[in-house]
Amino acid sequence: MDFNSNKAIYLQIAEYVCEHILLEKWKQEDKVPSVRDMAVKLEVNPNTVARTYDLLQQKGILANKRGVGFFLGADAVKQVKDYRKSIFINEELPNVFRNIYLLDIGLEELTQMYKSFVGEHFNNR
């Protein structure tokens, strides 16, 4: 995983975990990699992964079964969508809207580009 220096690593790992959930690479109530295994895979300090898992547990995305490990929460997909939607709407969308306005991109053009993107990247879903 390539990390962006503009954002905390634990938040980038949270995005990585959330993306795996949304793309159904990890299924509802599956066991997720241990803190140690994830740290080795991503080449980060285990404390960073622990911080990520703690955040995702607070959001209801992960559940900790003491002595067994972390699992996807019963409502993980909905919780991920709510969490990611909030971040997108509050942090990313204003910049997207600004660029759409500045570049004079029309709604029809934007709709067509969106449909094309989804067709190219997510047509197997």
E strand intervals along 58-124:
62-65, 69-72
Interval 25-38: pLDDT, tens? 998 878 999 999 99
Domains of the chain, CATH where assigned: 9-76 (1.10.10.10), 80-122 (no CATH)
Determine the Cα–Cα distance for residues 65 and 60; give it in Å rounded to an integer: 13
Query: Which pLDDT value is given to residue 124?
Result: 63
pTM over 0.85: no
Query: Which pLDDT value is given to residue 125?
Result: 54
Interval 53-106: pLDDT, tens? 999 999 999 999 988 999 998 899 999 999 999 999 999 999 999 999 999 999
Place of tokens 């942090």: 91
Instruction: Name the token pair of 72.
Output: 């996807």
